[in-house]
Structure 1
Amino acid sequence: MDSKFQKKLDSVTGHRANRHKYADEVLENPALFPELMRLCFLTSNKNAAKACWILELVCYEKLEWLQEYLDFFCSNIKNQTDKSAIRALSKICLLLAISHFKKKEMLLTENQLQQITETCFDWLMTDVKVASKCYSIRALHLLGNHFDWIHPELKVILDKDYNSHSAAYKAVGREILKKIK
């Protein structure tokens, strides 16, 4: 992103229309994508979470743009600590799992699948937003069709944590438990 676009991140708000405005700018100018990726994981940057919000919206439209950055993405997701950024990254992990396992569009390496798995489990067991946990649960369910140890581990966590979480977590937990029993 040129410095003008990076400075625009200061103006990004949580409002969806505002985030879409900046995502559309990246979609209209793909040359901005590499810098967007870099900014998402520049955790010292105050706008890293905002960059992640924009990346999520871009990935809804052009997930394939992430293909050449998968090693970078998968090796860095664990380093992001901002809860708002994690929410966006967890959704991207779910989109990648869907693309890999259901749509067979983006193929991830064994190492990339392992990195996503480890990070999703970390998010599931730490204090992150419930949406991040729900996206992680769904991604892990799909990953469990590849790694046979995931479903038993996921079941233990869901059974243990079920009563201490929100209605949204419980709804996703029930749905996934039915699928893996």
Structure 2
Amino acid sequence: MKTGLFKKLQYVKAYRENRQEVATYVLNNPGLFNDLLHYCFDPDPEISYKSCWILEFVCKEKLDWLLPSLDYFIENIRSLKHDSAIRPCAKICELLCEAYFKKKPSKTKRSLRATHLEQLSEINFDWLINDEKVATKAYAMHSLFLLGKKIDWIHPELKKVLEQNFSVHSAAYKARARHILDKL
């Protein structure tokens, strides 16, 4: 039986206001979060990417909701193929990395284990070197920069990849790469 959330997801459009409306519905009904997370990896690409859009908005407000399902999320994001699903998940990975590397203690720091950090670094390198959209690559660069503060092999590899690919990418890619290279 499909839930009310599933029906709402079928009618989601790319408009920010429309995505925010469904995200607010989930935020007001926390019991729907696990359904939303599972819809992100639905075999139907349209339900999958629309769910990922909403998950991004929800995680911006309630990232802690994702923490009990980190294993599921991280294991399944590799299976995403649609650009419209990958981009919001790359943003969620960036949110996780930002929360982990904040100075004060947090639930995210307590929840992300070394294996999660390794998996996130592999996934983000895949996004960076594969044929993904610029926004996904930009989120991956920033996530990898942060992860490199904890995992020593990342910064040298990130620098090498950014320098090798600098000349063949768009102005947006170059701007983010330059910003990250300046920090390295």
The bucket for the TM-score relative to the shorter chain is over 0.9
Q: Could you say which residue in structure 2 is the equivalent of 1:130? A: 134
Q: Secondary structure at the match of 1:146?
A: coil
Aligned runs of 1:69-108 on 2, under 5 Å?
69-103=69-103, 104-105=105-106, 106-107=108-109, 108=112
| Amino acid paired to 1:94 | E
What CA distance in whole angstroms lies between the structure 1 residues aligned with 2:43 and 2:92? 18
Name the amino acid aligned to 2:159: K
* Cα distance between partner residues in 1 of 2:132 and 2:43: 17
1:25 paired with 2:29, answer no
Amino acid at match of 1:166: S
Contact kept? 2:45, 2:82, Cα under 8 Å = no
What secondary structure sits across from 2:101 in the alignment? helix
Letter in 2 for 1:60: K
What's the % identity of the aligned pairs?
48
SS of 2:70's equivalent in the other structure is helix
In structure 2, stretches of 5+ residues that fail to align are none
1:161 to 165, 169, 172: 165
C-alpha displacement at 1:102, in angstroms? 1.7
C-alpha distance in structure 1 between counterparts of 2:155 and 2:17, whole Å: 37
Aligned 8 A contact 1:43 1:80 in 2 = no
Q: How many residues align?
A: 180
Cα distance in structure 1, aligned partners of 2:14 and 2:43: 18
- 2:88 is aligned with what amino acid? A
Runs of 5+ unmatched residues, structure 1:
none
| Residues 166 and 174, structure 2, Cα contact 8 Å, conserved in 1 | yes
TM-score w.r.t. length of structure 2: 0.94
| Matching residue's letter, 1:175 | H
Q: Could you tell me how far 1:2 is from its partner in structure 2?
A: 5.1
Deviates more, 1:41-50 or 1:154-163: 41-50
Between 1:60-69 and 1:35-44, the stretch displaced more is 35-44
- Measure the CA separation in 1 of the matches of 2:172 and 2:46: 29
Superposition RMSD in Å = 1.3
TM-score, structure 1 as length reference: 0.95
Work out whether residues 162 and 170 of structure 1, in 8 Å CA contact, stay in contact via their aligned partners in 2.
yes
Paired position in structure 1 for 2:121: 117
